[in-house]
Amino acid sequence: MPGDYLSDRQQPQQQADPYANVYANLDQYVSQYSPQAAQNYWQQTMKPMYENAWGQVAPQVEAAYAGPGYYSSARANALTQAKADLGRQETGAYGNLMYNEELMRREAGAQRANIMAQIAASQASQRFAEQMFQRQQEANQTRTWQERQWYLEDLKDQQLREYE
């Protein structure tokens, strides 16, 4: 077996995964977008706002239809129409929130996939470079060892010629 002729050369060293922190942050980034998070936002922020809006709109409609000459059915129709309009606005806002949440989740997933692909390509490139370095070392060792063998064979031939 040939000796270690390349001990003075620097060997590639195995290190901890430098992307471990990136993986954790990506997973955290993607997980922040979820239907449950959007639903919680809706329940805590948007729904109370629409409930308060109805509390402000209803008295104004009733006041507008108060007095002589207005039938209770006209006031009831105006209240129904106002409630329906507010309901459509609320439903539209909820739909937009959930749709935007889905888009953000898809975008975060696409960004995560893109970053993971870049990391995989970088790691593959690093592995390829390490393999090429290792092959070059082996080739250098083999060549050096082979050259030494030829040299030793030449020395033996010379010594045999001298003894003859």
Q: Which of 2-6, 102-106, 126-130 shows the lowest per-residue confidence on average (mean pLDDT)?
A: 2-6
Q: Which residues contact 40 (CB under 8 A, 6 or more apart)?
A: none
| Tokens of residue 145, six digits | 């060892």
pLDDT at 24: 66
Q: 3-25 burial by CB neighbour count: b if 16+ within 10 A, else e? A: eeeeeeeeeeeeeeeebeeeeee
Q: Which of 4-8, 38-42, 77-81, 82-86 shows the lowest per-residue confidence on average (mean pLDDT)?
A: 4-8
- Containing 159, the helix (H) or strand (E) segment is helix 72-163
pLDDT at 3: 47
Give residue 84's pLDDT band: very low, low, confident or very high (50, 70, 90): very high
Report the alpha-carbon distance of residue 47 to residue 89 in Å, rounded. 11
Burial class of residue 86, CB neighbours in 10 A (0-12, 13-18, 19+): middle
State yes or no: pLDDT of 136 exceeds 70: yes
pLDDT in tens, 44-83: 888 888 888 888 888 888 888 887 766 778 888 888 999 9
Q: What are the DSSP E strand ranges found in 79-152?
A: none
